[in-house]
Amino acid sequence: MAETVPHDLIIIGGGPGGYTAGIYAQRAALKTVLIEKGIPGGQLNNTDEVENWPGTEKISGSELALKFSQHAAAYGLEVMNREVVGVEPGLSLHTVTLDNGEAFTAHAVILATGGSPKKMGIPGEDQYYGKGVSYCAVCDGFFFRDKTVVVVGGGDSALEESLYLAKLAKQVYIAHRRDAFRAGMILQKRVLNEKRITVLWNTVLTEIQADAQGVNGVITKNTLDGATATLATDGVFVFIGFEPNNALVPAGTRMNANGYVIGDEKCETNTPGIFAIGDLKEKYAKQIVTAAADGCTAALAAAHYIENKKSGA
């Protein structure tokens, strides 16, 4: 719908951070719209079990995502299912442009666009994506029932997703480039005790191979002695971290060397009225609970910023 009155706040991205910001903004009576191009919850929908959301010992990622959106809806948050293609900061109002050319203005914008899975950049990875190469165990694990899969990575995501895949596949290999996991100890213990998981330490993949049916093997390389080997597998799941989705960050807004937005303790960037939260923001712990905390902080800070602007302070 065409905008008649500028918004107070536009939130871009509907993950845990974006929805939390939306809930706080509604409670602060800000005229707010949350714009999300995919389904509510973002990366949360790719997570099987969430076990560290306080107050809930275990909940599926998609169920928690649904709860976030229902909670925001209960406060009347306006949600638009569209893709944002541009954010243009202005002295008075910022302009947010959608893929259909429509434009909205707001006093403040919260960027909550999260991150996307990193790629290995090896031969076969792009070519066989969807034919055995995946970045989401919850989405694609079902296709590997009683089959063999290789998971790449040694962080929380790789281990969590390996445990999920071990419930379906007959054999899960974890290829990790060094001899110690980065993931938390609870996950490490579970993985090392899971009979269907074999860890290939000091191992990277150098190529993914396939036939007409899809992926049928990988070439591995030992990072210590350079020895290569072929390993038969039906699938390759890559969990080697995330890259920030920073394409909408306005020019001149400070980012670190890895492309994460630098914000202050209020999540405000050096571009006045532009806030960055969640996995897009430079910070120590990238967790659902810290994304939500950012959303709260940014919405409260935005409310204060907007109030000052409107009163001419």
Binding site for ligand NAP (CB under 6 A): 52, 120, 152-158, 160, 177-178, 182, 204, 239-242, 286-287
The minimum distance between CB 93 and ligand NAP, in angstroms, equals: 34
32 forms beta bridges with: 9
Residue of 99, 126, 139, 179 marked catalytic: 139
139 is catalytic: yes
Which residue's CB is nearer to ligand NAP, number 178 or number 310?
178
Of the pair 32, 245, the CB lying nearest ligand NAP is at 245
Is there a catalytic annotation at residue 294? Answer: no
Q: At its nearest, how many Å lie between ligand NAP and the CB of residue 263?
A: 17
184/186 Cα distance (integer angstroms)? 6
Distance CA 309, CA 226 (A): 60
Q: CB-hemisphere CA count at 13 Å for 96?
A: 31
Q: Which of 48, 99, 126, 140 is catalytic?
A: 140
Active site residue 48: no
Least separation in angstroms between residue 284's CB and ligand NAP is 8
Among residues 222 and 287, whose Cβ is nearest to ligand NAP? 287
**Minimum distance, C-beta of residue 85 to ligand NAP, in the bound complex (Å):** 27
Cβ nearer to ligand NAP, comparing 104 with 181: 181
Q: Which residue of the set 8, 48, 126, 136 is catalytic?
A: 136
Q: What's the closest the beta carbon of residue 239 comes to ligand NAP, in angstroms? A: 5
When the beta carbons of 160 and 268 are compared against ligand NAP, the nearer one is 160
Q: Which residue is at the shortest CB distance from ligand NAP?
A: 155
Alpha-carbon distance of 285 to 267, in angstroms, equals: 15
Nearer to ligand NAP, 226 or 312 (CB): 226
User: CB 286 → ligand NAP: shortest distance, Å?
Assistant: 4
CA-to-CA distance for 254 and 270, rounded, in angstroms?
7
Catalytic residue positions?
A: 136, 139-140
